[in-house]
Chain A
Amino acid sequence: MAQGQPAITPPTTSSVAVAPTTAAIQPKGRGIKPRSYIPVLCFLGPALALIAFFVVYPSIKTIYLSFYAQNGIGYNAPSTFTGWDNYTGLWSNDQIRTSIRNNILWLVLVTPVTVILGVLFAVLFDRVRYESIPKSIVFIPMAISATASGVIWRLMYADDPHTGTVNAILSHLPGFSPLSFLGDASFVNFALMGAQIWTGLGFAVVVLSAALKSIPADLTEAAKIDGANEIQIFSRITVPLMWPTITVIITLTMIGVLKIFDLVYTMTSGGPAGSSDVLALEMYVQSFGNANPGVGSAIAVVLLIAVIPIMAININRFRTEGQR
């Protein structure tokens, strides 16, 4: 049986005639003639200039600063080259070690919880008749700045059950007494993560819900006829087809979590006793609080290096996606 080969072969003469023409055109299109640099620069120039000034230059300057120790405060303060000292110092500093540990904890907990809840909510909301209502409710935190949601959650977690909603609920449950969420080193990180998940979930749900809607109904119907139950359809059809979008959410959440600053800064400023400190906050404290921009820059470089593999995975995925 024919396997989809073209039924009609184009006449040989015409393909022979066409070949040299295309071959002749091709190299011309490749190189840019000197005259055409001007429009190219007009289009790309402004963007390149902005990126160079606001991204490339600060990055290079940060890397540069990370090898220096500044003596005194101010732009013109004298600085001395200290080689890798700022970096090796990171590992011996207890506070920074705590920050690194906390960041890893954030990565390991916030990322999967956000993604799993995001997929779950997207799938559940899809079945709700007035889908847009729960979706809007989950999405609203996206419209609130992280600082504002920090303030909201500080109130939510307040120790006094008359102010703190969470403790108000707990005090009504038998066997529970109000907890000091933000004042107890063993809870504080989880409390902060809860607030972050609340803030970030809306975006995940909306994006994943769009991915879910792009799966043709035919596919789930075909799976039903093939004998799949709801759970099998979810695990073997829905999730694999949503996977490209799920990886986007995973990488965006990971990057967001590595950079987490404002929520922690407004809710605990790293306390109590530095137990909720994170790298971005420590970078800020070292640079501006401790007047130690060398150490701050070293932390920034570590964060940058930590983000690179995640970015690479994401970019690579976009590239392979484009090839399909």
Chain B
Amino acid sequence: MARVGLEHIWKRYGDVVAVHDVTLEAKDEEFLVLVGPSGCGKSTTLRMVAGLDDISDGSISIGDRVVNDLSPKDRDIAMVFQSYALYPHMNVYDNMAFGLKLRKTPKPEIKRRVNEAGEILGITQLLDRKPKQLSGGQRQRVALGRAIVRNPAVFLMDEPLSNLDAKLRVQTRAEISKLHQRLKTTFIYVTHDQTEAMTMGDRIAVMKDGFLQQIDTPQVLYDYPVNTFVAGFIGSPAMNLVPGELKQTDGRLRVEGPGMVVPLPESLAAQARGKDSSKVFLGVRPEHIAPKSQYNGNAPNEMTATVEVVEHMGSKQFVYLGQAGATLTAEFPADAEARPEQEMQIVFDPDNLHLFDEASGNAIGHSRSAVA
């Protein structure tokens, strides 16, 4: 068990900078997820923590030790690879025991630990099989088992679920979370899948182009994204970002865009004060767009939209609305009436609006400003 600290980490490959000045911390026993699109530097960051890639600048510590110059074997870490990286010439038992054998662990102890890990993961009946005789899900468990038996201070996982089919991925996701609760060890988990990040992480670090964008709990990332990238990346379907201009009329701030005028609630207006006539993006999540007929409460904004596509999900429906040339994604209750080509009045929930500067993409403010 240990905290992992990254201080001003850089990774350069010649002129290419893969990781820019990243500072973050995985607290002891925390499940920290690094998430971002491919090429954002998340895997490189993880590999630097593992010691598989050198750091160009900065310092990494695990527990109280700075590990910059330590080889992977001396960092007290275990890693699960995307490809599982099981040794094809060894059976499952030997795959799991390999690290312990190298560390000269006594045989009975190796046996006890491998069997224990096998039981946790339900693979005891597979111990004498070779990796090629296993299914993808079973290989994945063996890879986890190989990490568990070592009893490391930190678990590093590099997209361990991406080779599994959708159903198995959901199942294994929950199992890894359970494993984390059971082992009470620090996990650093890399994924490009925001759903995995949201469901598994105690905290999530969002990266893009080698820069750390935001690190916080899933709910804070969802409610208070610091920029349009995080707003669009976290949440599915993504947040709608409607371009408009911030204007002050009769002492009230409002966003005016094609076919819409959205007065800002006082909480948001207070944060946006002084920025009038700047170009902005108004952010609204799909679940905060409602048909006017179903919206109870005082809707200070209202606009006309045409239904383009309806996706029924059973418990809800995703409705793609054409509004002044743009497409908005809305999440309506299952019983809301929406047919393609139907015209309807929609409203944005004023208590859940986000405002971003168009040029920088940075957040100006959020309606729910209590925590921001």
Given contacts A1-B121, A3-B138, A226-B73, contact A218 B83 (CB under 8 A): yes
Any A CB within 8 A of the CB of B37: no
Q: For A39, what are the chain B residues with a Cβ–Cβ distance below 8 Å?
A: none
- The residue in chain B whose Cβ has the minimal distance to the Cβ of A218 is B85
Given contacts A4-B135, A218-B83, contact A224 B71 (CB under 8 A): yes
- The residue in chain B whose Cβ has the minimal distance to the Cβ of A6 is B135
Q: Which of B99, B137, B171 contacts A226 (CB 8 A)?
A: B99
Any B CB within 8 A of the CB of A240: yes
Q: For B361, what are the chain A residues with a Cβ–Cβ distance below 8 Å?
A: none
Distance to closest chain B CB from A2 (angstroms): 8
Given contacts A216-B85, A232-B102, A324-B132, contact A225 B137 (CB under 8 A): no
A223, B79: Cα distance in complex, Å? 10
Given contacts A1-B121, A3-B122, A216-B83, contact A228 B102 (CB under 8 A): yes
Any A CB within 8 A of the CB of B89: yes
- The residue in chain A whose Cβ has the minimal distance to the Cβ of B84 is A218
Q: For A210, what are the chain B residues with a Cβ–Cβ distance below 8 Å?
A: none
- The residue in chain B whose Cβ has the minimal distance to the Cβ of A7 is B167
Distance to closest chain B CB from A226 (angstroms): 4
Contact with B along A129-165 (1 / 0, CB 8 A): 0000000000000000000000000000000000000
Contact with B along A216-250 (1 / 0, CB 8 A): 10110111111111001000110011010000000
Most buried by A among B88, B103, B121, B146: B88
Which residues of A in the span 1-42 have a Cβ within 8 Å of any Cβ on B?
1-4, 7
Q: For B123, what are the chain A residues with a Cβ–Cβ distance below 8 Å?
A: 3
Q: Which of A1, A218, A226, A324 contacts B102 (CB 8 A)?
A: A226
Number of chain A interface residues as a range: 20 to 34
- The residue in chain B whose Cβ has the minimal distance to the Cβ of A4 is B135
Any A CB within 8 A of the CB of B52: yes
Distance to closest chain A CB from B5 (angstroms): 20
Distance to closest chain A CB from B336 (angstroms): 32
A51, B52: Cα distance in complex, Å? 54
In the bound complex, do residue B85 and residue A228 qualify as a contact, i.e. CB atoms below 8 Å apart? no
Contact with B along A261-275 (1 / 0, CB 8 A): 000000000000000
Any A CB within 8 A of the CB of B98: yes
Any A CB within 8 A of the CB of B226: no
In the bound complex, do residue B81 and residue A221 qualify as a contact, i.e. CB atoms below 8 Å apart? yes
Q: For B72, what are the chain A residues with a Cβ–Cβ distance below 8 Å?
A: 221, 224-225
In the bound complex, do residue B87 and residue A237 qualify as a contact, i.e. CB atoms below 8 Å apart? yes
A223, B140: Cα distance in complex, Å? 17
In the bound complex, do residue A218 and residue B81 qualify as a contact, i.e. CB atoms below 8 Å apart? yes
Any A CB within 8 A of the CB of B347: no
A54, B176: Cα distance in complex, Å? 64
In the bound complex, do residue A222 and residue B102 qualify as a contact, i.e. CB atoms below 8 Å apart? no
Contact with B along A48-92 (1 / 0, CB 8 A): 000000000000000000000000000000000000000000000
In the bound complex, do residue A225 and residue B73 qualify as a contact, i.e. CB atoms below 8 Å apart? yes
Any A CB within 8 A of the CB of B77: yes
A236, B97: Cα distance in complex, Å? 13
Q: For B79, what are the chain A residues with a Cβ–Cβ distance below 8 Å?
A: 221-222, 225
Q: For B71, what are the chain A residues with a Cβ–Cβ distance below 8 Å?
A: 224
In the bound complex, do residue A227 and residue B85 qualify as a contact, i.e. CB atoms below 8 Å apart? no
Q: For B138, what are the chain A residues with a Cβ–Cβ distance below 8 Å?
A: 3-4
In the bound complex, do residue A226 and residue B83 qualify as a contact, i.e. CB atoms below 8 Å apart? no
Q: For A223, what are the chain B residues with a Cβ–Cβ distance below 8 Å?
A: 87, 98
Q: For B132, what are the chain A residues with a Cβ–Cβ distance below 8 Å?
A: 324
Distance to closest chain B CB from A129 (angstroms): 14
- The residue in chain A whose Cβ has the minimal distance to the Cβ of B89 is A240
A37, B286: Cα distance in complex, Å? 68
In the bound complex, do residue A227 and residue B99 qualify as a contact, i.e. CB atoms below 8 Å apart? yes
In the bound complex, do residue B73 and residue A224 qualify as a contact, i.e. CB atoms below 8 Å apart? yes
A211, B171: Cα distance in complex, Å? 37
Q: For B52, what are the chain A residues with a Cβ–Cβ distance below 8 Å?
A: 221, 224-225
Any A CB within 8 A of the CB of B78: yes
- The residue in chain A whose Cβ has the minimal distance to the Cβ of B130 is A324
Q: For A227, what are the chain B residues with a Cβ–Cβ distance below 8 Å?
A: 73, 99, 102-103
Any A CB within 8 A of the CB of B50: yes
Distance to closest chain B CB from A229 (angstroms): 8
Distance to closest chain A CB from B142 (angstroms): 12
Q: For B121, what are the chain A residues with a Cβ–Cβ distance below 8 Å?
A: 1
In the bound complex, do residue A225 and residue B77 qualify as a contact, i.e. CB atoms below 8 Å apart? yes
Distance to closest chain B CB from A232 (angstroms): 6
A236, B138: Cα distance in complex, Å? 23
Q: For A218, what are the chain B residues with a Cβ–Cβ distance below 8 Å?
A: 81, 83, 85
A216, B83: Cα distance in complex, Å? 9
A229, B146: Cα distance in complex, Å? 18
A236, B88: Cα distance in complex, Å? 12
A224, B156: Cα distance in complex, Å? 14
Q: For B87, what are the chain A residues with a Cβ–Cβ distance below 8 Å?
A: 219, 222-223, 237
Q: For A3, what are the chain B residues with a Cβ–Cβ distance below 8 Å?
A: 122-123, 125-126, 135, 137-138
A225, B78: Cα distance in complex, Å? 6
Q: For B126, what are the chain A residues with a Cβ–Cβ distance below 8 Å?
A: 3
In the bound complex, do residue B137 and residue A4 qualify as a contact, i.e. CB atoms below 8 Å apart? yes
Distance to closest chain B CB from A5 (angstroms): 9
A224, B123: Cα distance in complex, Å? 24
Q: For A222, what are the chain B residues with a Cβ–Cβ distance below 8 Å?
A: 79, 81, 85-87, 146
Sampled A-B contacts (27; CB under 8 Å): A1-B122, A2-B137, A2-B171, A3-B122, A3-B138, A4-B134, A4-B136, A4-B137, A218-B83, A219-B87, A221-B79, A221-B81, A222-B79, A222-B81, A222-B146, A223-B98, A224-B52, A224-B71, A225-B73, A225-B77, A226-B73, A227-B73, A227-B99, A227-B102, A229-B73, A236-B98, A324-B132
6 tightest A-B CB contacts, nearest first: A4-B135, A226-B99, A1-B122, A218-B85, A222-B85, A227-B73
10 new A-B contacts at CB < 8 Å, known A3-B125, A3-B138, A218-B81: A1-B121, A2-B171, A4-B136, A4-B138, A218-B85, A225-B52, A226-B73, A226-B99, A228-B102, A240-B89
B contact set with A: CB distance below 8 Å:
50-52, 71-73, 77-79, 81, 83, 85-89, 98-99, 102-103, 121-123, 125-126, 132, 134-138, 146, 150, 167, 171, 175
